[in-house]
Structure 1
């Protein structure tokens, strides 16, 4: 039978050894997450990141059918998990020397998402105007302006990147990964990653 002192010393060594192993494991997990944040095979980016990316495109100003000036501002992102789409609401301001006063309104577009391998970006794909409201527009101009503005807004955002992966984000332990399935969820956009 060992002396009591030796038992206490041995217990301390075991205790410190266990604590050291636990701390080492935590550090390893933390480092792995910072180097490769999608060890689980998924990566999710938030609506705030999407909002920041889309805001870089605005304000945007363009001539419509030669006589109208369209200004689009204040993009607001909304997630649509059930439809697996992203919605963007935009404030619109239209002016013309042929109108007594400028017209204000709002566009709401929704879009699919796709991965562009060349730019390593998740992009808006085939956006469409779901709602267009222009207050105070004279009837003789309304149809032309609605059609031209809707076409411009969809062309403006088609293939627009909302998230771009850095090269090192898609490489881990000398294995290349790439996004496959893209899913809009309540917390953001979830990307399934697979080996390339």
Structure 2
């Protein structure tokens, strides 16, 4: 029985060897025909936690507006707006002014687009704007000025701020250079397409 099985095994191994050689010859041509190799990711996804950690490093923030208001922004909370393809950042605000009998606490909500900055090799916040200001008490009469302070803070402090910086090896595979393409905001993260440069 062993002798009868031996020729079958030899034929089987020869057939597998032939298929392996053929695949080895064909593989380089398949790689040449394709723009990307199968093992190269076509995108990266960043979680809300990663974005939250990056933004949190930028705070607390304090700013004085024309000697009228001192605004302190703390406790950033990152959110996503997939339908608008934007990132939101909610901030606690502490406002003091000689015009206010006592400091006022409230909240700002900022909204920002995302963009790839090739100089920094990073995905950055771009053109953040104030979406909502929530203040109570006597500070309501100064809402416009407080909102302006928040807008100034957003423009000066967060515009161009990197939320993820790519390592060189993340954008180079088999001697081919890649770069981030379309950036899509998901409900629970950010998806960055990777395309050949």
Q: TM-score scaled by structure 2? A: 0.78
**Contact 1:84 1:183 survives alignment (8 Å):** yes
| Counterparts of 2:83 and 2:135, CA distance in 1 | 28
**Residue 188 of structure 1 corresponds to which residue in structure 2?**
189
* Partner SS for 2:144: helix
**Residue 113 of structure 2 corresponds to which residue in structure 1?**
112
- Deviant stretches of 4+, over 6 Å: none
| Offset, 1:3 | 5.3
1:102-181 → structure 2 map (5 Å cutoff): 102-138=103-139, 141-181=142-182
1:2-151 → structure 2 map (5 Å cutoff): 2=2, 39-138=40-139, 141-151=142-152
| Offset, 1:139 | 5.3
| Offset, 1:195 | 1.1
Distance of aligned partners of 1:141 and 1:40 in 2 relative to their CA distance in 1, 3 Å threshold: closer
Distance of aligned partners of 1:140 and 1:105 in 2 relative to their CA distance in 1, 3 Å threshold: closer
| Offset, 1:97 | 3.4
| Offset, 1:153 | 2.4
For structure 2, which runs of at least 5 residues remain unmatched after alignment? 14-36
**Contact 1:73 1:90 survives alignment (8 Å):** yes
Number of residue pairs aligned between Structure 1 and Structure 2: 173
Residues 94-138 of structure 1, C-alpha deviations (whole Å, 9 max, x = no match): 012332110011111111110000000001111111101112234
| Counterparts of 2:138 and 2:4, CA distance in 1 | 93
